[in-house]
Amino acid sequence: MKSRALSISLMLLLFLLSSACQFTDQTLDDERFASQQTPDRPFRPLQVTLSAPQDSKSSGSVERTGEEAPFIEKPTLTEDLDTAISSTTDALLSAINVRRALEGWPPLVRQAALTEIANNRAIDMSVHAYLSHEDPKTAEILVENMLIEMGYQGQVAELVYAANEPLDRLGEIAIDEWFDDPDTRSVLLSPGFRYIGIGMMGDGTTWKIVQVLAEYGP
Average pLDDT per consecutive 10 residues, the chain (218 residues; last block may be shorter): 44 38 36 35 64 36 32 51 86 95 96 94 90 85 88 90 88 92 92 95 87 90
For the chain, what are the domain ranges? 47-52+77-216
At 33-46, the pLDDT tens digits run: 233 333 455 566 77
Q: What DSSP designation does 63 have?
A: -
Whether the link from the prior residue into 42 is cis, omega within 30° of 0, is yes
How many helices (H) and strands (E) the chain has is answered by 6, 5
- DSSP-based three-state secondary structure for 209: strand
Q: pTM score, two decimals?
A: 0.69
pLDDT in tens, 157-189: 999 999 988 888 888 999 999 999 999 999 999
Name the CATH superfamily for 47-52+77-216.
CAP (3.40.33.10)
Residue 84: per-residue pLDDT: 83
- Which residues 6+ apart lie within 8 Å of 72 measured at CB? 120, 123, 124, 127
Partner residues linked to 110 by β-bridges = 196
Longest dimension (CA), the chain: 97
